[in-house]
Amino acid sequence: MNGSLAIGIDLGGTNLKVAVVDRQGRIAAQQVGPTNAERGPQPIIEDMAALANLVLRDASSCGDCAGVGVGSPGPLSLRTGRVIRSANLPGWEDMPLRDLLAQRLSLPVILENDANAAAYGEFWMGAGRDGADMVMLTLGTGVGSGVILDGRLVHGHFENAGELGHMIVVPDGLPCGCGQRGCLEAYASATSVTRRVIAAMEEGKRQEAKGAILTPTSLRPGAGPLREASRVPSSLAWDASTIADRARQGDPLCSRVWSEACIYLAIACISIQHAFNPARVILGGGMAQAGAFLRDNVIQELHRRQWSLHSDLPAIVLAELGPDAGVIGAAGLVFANCHESW
């Protein structure tokens, strides 16, 4: 089905974003609402359809709609259009999202992993728009990722390739929500960085209450909590942005946690280099709001650890589309598949 517009939907555990996007990647209309995930799948699917109809009405003068792309947390079955299960969406088990939404909107629907959709958005209209092979890491609540080779998303035999946030970087390390231990996500997501700082602060306070001597530990991956933790102001609203700011100012605890996150990201980039040999790795999500302070630290750690046999390191660059990457990418996948049979 041809059309000058497509609907992109970004289904998150907290927010639901729906946009109409044209073939130049421009957002013509957009709606955002709370997911209220505790309600279960059926009310959320109804909300998705309602918001899609709203944006279509708002953009009715811009052209016809070719279809709908949905970026959803996984794991998914892309062949059958089903959400197999989602950690942040209670009750979404073996849910035929693609077909249920298509019935409500009378439009063809493509289902894709949410991180893959964001990666495709950057490939189509963002930091990867020159069309070279790329990998995107989205450093937010978790570490999402998407791999694009020869212009196509890599899905793998079991349809869940590219889950790079769950590559193990520390054997028997911190527990991850996926059930493994030592995942990249447990060390380098915006959430995990924040959690580690807060945990170290609490440990520092416990040690101080016991009369422990306040001395710093060495700066190395896996070192114990810093005793300086108790000196960090507890009144701050802690998030990855705050931690980046404090690290820039030389705060010892925030500097160590931030540095460790950059080390593990560099290790991941080396594994990505050897596995996929992309032209670039794009860093997005909440951690990437630190800009060059993230990128340059990762590059520095990457160069310290690269192999010496060949100079084929990917460029490390920042994402350009921000929170719109998911809806733009989901819509872009509709245009990319218009020539195929729906």
Q: What region, left, alpha or beta, does residue 169 occupy, with left being phi > 0 and alpha being psi -120 to 50 degrees? A: alpha
Task: Name the pTM for this structure.
Answer: 0.90
Radius of gyration of the chain (CA): 21
- The phi, psi pair for 195, rounded to 5°, reads -60, -40
Per-residue pLDDT, 158: 93
Altogether, the residues listed in the chain come to a count of: 342
Q: What region, left, alpha or beta, does residue 303 occupy, with left being phi > 0 and alpha being psi -120 to 50 degrees? A: alpha
- The CA-based angle 159-164-166, given to 5 degrees, is 95
Per-residue pLDDT, 237: 74
Pick the closest to residue 275 from 128, 154, 115, 174 (CA basis): 154
User: Quick one: CATH architecture of 5-114+323-336?
Assistant: 2-Layer Sandwich (3.30)
Per-residue pLDDT, 311: 82
Fold classification of 127-320 (topology level): Nucleotidyltransferase; domain 5 (3.30.420)
Per-residue pLDDT, 309: 83
- Per-residue pLDDT for the chain (342 aa), expressed as one digit of tens each? 578 999 999 999 889 999 999 999 999 999 999 999 999 999 999 999 999 999 999 998 888 999 999 999 989 999 999 999 887 899 999 999 999 999 999 999 999 999 999 999 999 999 999 999 999 999 998 999 999 999 999 999 999 999 999 999 999 999 998 899 999 999 999 999 999 999 998 887 777 667 654 443 433 444 444 444 435 555 567 899 999 999 999 999 999 999 999 999 999 999 999 999 999 999 999 999 999 999 999 999 999 998 888 888 899 999 999 999 999 999 999 999 875 544
| Helices of type H across the chain | 41-58, 97-105, 114-125, 185-188, 190-209, 240-248, 252-276, 292-305, 325-336
3-class secondary structure, 64: coil
Per-residue pLDDT, 226: 46
Q: Which residue has the tokens 């819509």?
A: 331
In the chain, list all ranges with CATH 3.30.420.40: 5-114+323-336, 127-320
Structure tokens at 117: 């959709």
